[in-house]
Amino acid sequence: MIAPVTVLHDPAFRVALDYAGVAVFAVSGALAAARRKYDIVTFAFFAAVTGIGGGTLRDLLIGAPVFWVRDPGYVAVCIAAAGAVWAVGVKTWRMPALLWLDAIGLAAYAVVGASKSASYGAPPLAAVVMGVLSATFGGIVRDVLAGEPSVLLRKEIYVTAAVLGAGLFVLLRLVGVSDPWAGVFGALAAFWLRGGALRYGWTLPGFHAEDDEAAP
């Protein structure tokens, strides 16, 4: 079992990191609504689902109080993000903006999810899984609601980047690296892998079934 995560006991650090991750994901959700030309209420809904979806699932699974229920400020950040995208206008934003914002959120929340899960006593593998769920679930729901191809079905590396970030964070903590440095290295690794996938089209090898050679 991983020792409790001490950095999350620092309220200022935890709140700043959580708010930043929620805001980035919320903007990506609002951008998805903008591409579909939805109304402002739907903008806010998309922003909220994307911003707090992954963290909500994580908290429910690890038995923690759902973070945005205890602090409604997270929902306010999502609404503010939706309003900002609405005010700036969709022409200012392009699909690459959504993808890169999502990459930043994925990298940060892979580490945050693993950190919080470890602080609630999750063993190493479970902490990695919770980090991946935190980083990817909101984006998956966003794509389903927007009618976009799910990130799970795109060829570019996505979930693997979250696995790398959360896994490296957990591994570094197990070998004694301090939490802040483990978090920095984990987030950078996840962003590097996802960014490379966006920039260079990196993919994992797909399954290739051999043709039947002995058809009756």
DSSP states along the chain: -PPP-GGGG-HHHHHHHHHHHHHHHHHHHHHHHHHTT--HHHHHHHHHHHHHHHHHHHHHHHTPPPHHHH-THHHHHHHHHHHHHHHH-GGG--HHHHHHHHHHHHHHHHHHHHHHHHHTT--HHHHHHHHHHHHHHHHHHHHHHHTPPPGGGSSB--HHHHHHHHHHHHHHHHTT--HHHHHHHHHHHHHHHHHHHHHH--BPPPP-PPPPS---
DSSP per position, 98-116: HHHHHHHHHHHHHHHHHHH
Q: What is the pTM of this model?
A: 0.85
Does residue 153 carry a pLDDT above 90?
no
Q: What is the pLDDT of residues 49-107, one digit of tens each?
A: 999 999 999 999 999 999 999 889 999 999 999 999 888 876 655 667 778 888 988 99
Q: Is the pLDDT of residue 131 over 60?
A: yes
Is 174's pLDDT higher than 80? yes
Q: Give yes or no for residue 169 having a pLDDT over 60.
A: yes
Q: Please report the pLDDT score of residue 90 as a whole number.
A: 60
What is the residue extent of each domain of the chain? 6-200
**pLDDT computed for residue 210 by the predictor:** 56
Residue 13 has pLDDT above 70, yes or no: no
Are 117 and 86 contacting, i.e. CB atoms less than 8 angstroms apart? Answer: no
Terminal Cα distance for the chain, rounded: 55
CA distance 2 to 14: 18
Nearest to 128 by CA among 159, 92, 93, 83: 159
Residue 198 has pLDDT above 70, yes or no: yes
pLDDT bucket at 1, cuts 50 / 70 / 90: very low
pLDDT, tens only, 28-38: 899 888 888 89
pLDDT for the residue 31? 86
Residue that wins the pLDDT comparison between 44 and 209: 44
Decide which of 93 and 128 is more confident: 128
For 105, the token pair is: 């959120």
- Return the pLDDT at 176: 92
Structure-token match 């440095």, residue found: 181
Q: Which of the given ranges, 50-59, 98-107, 152-161, 195-204, has the highest pLDDT on average?
A: 50-59
Q: How far apart are CA 198 and CA 95, in angstroms?
A: 11
* For residues 10-26, average pLDDT: 73
